[in-house]
Amino acid sequence: MSDISKKKMEQIAQMWNARGKGLITHMALEIEEVSTEGVRVRMPFNPDFCVDAEQSLLHGGILTALLDSVFGLANFVAIEGVSTMATLDLRVDYLRPARSRADVIVQAHCFRKTRHIAFNSGSVWFAGHEHAEIARGTASFALTRGETSLFDAMTKGKAS
């Protein structure tokens, strides 16, 4: 791990899991790796996210929401002092049908950051098929910095 402590990585991961709302909570995401170099997250197979009768073809919107969320986690880990962030642009290239009953793995990282913008890229594949990407995404996020970062506010119990 680079310039961030293991304890802080674990706190960020706990905060990210605790703040999930809506669809993200139903994804039951599991953080497998977290460092300033990037994050890896697992989404267990869920037949409710499939669009076919055999329940093996994932809806593309699920992959998009998954990438967006994991990009956010990568930003919080890689960038100090962020109060809020919002997705400005999100592009997903679907490389093959997302047909499997295996867990979905996402690897993402923040590859460039300025004071107000973060840029991310990431890949999606099924567990056990690391060399057969099903989607690849890029995004940019608007960052807001204040006197208290979201991380500091959450760890001191001041944020909602």
Burial (0-12, 13-18, 19+ Cβ within 10 Å), 153: middle
| Site of tokens 């967006």 | 68
47 falls within a domain: yes
87 falls within a domain: yes
Q: Report the CATH number at residue 114.
A: 3.10.129.10
Q: Is-above-0.95 flag for pTM? A: no
11 falls within a domain: yes
When divided into structural domains, the chain yields a total of 1
123 falls within a domain: yes
Residue range(s) defining the domain that contains residue 101? 6-156
| Site of tokens 């890949």 | 123
1 falls within a domain: no
E strands, the chain, in order: 30-35, 38-43, 82-94, 104-113, 117-126, 135-145
44 falls within a domain: yes
31 falls within a domain: yes
Show Cβ contacts of residue 73 under 8 Å, excluding neighbours closer than 6 positions. Answer: 12, 13, 16, 31, 34, 39, 41, 108
Per-residue pLDDT of the chain (160 residues; tens, 9 = 90+): 345 677 777 777 777 767 667 777 788 888 898 888 899 999 999 999 999 999 999 999 999 999 999 999 999 888 888 888 999 999 999 999 999 999 999 999 999 999 999 999 999 999 999 889 999 999 999 999 877 777 777 677 544 4
17 falls within a domain: yes
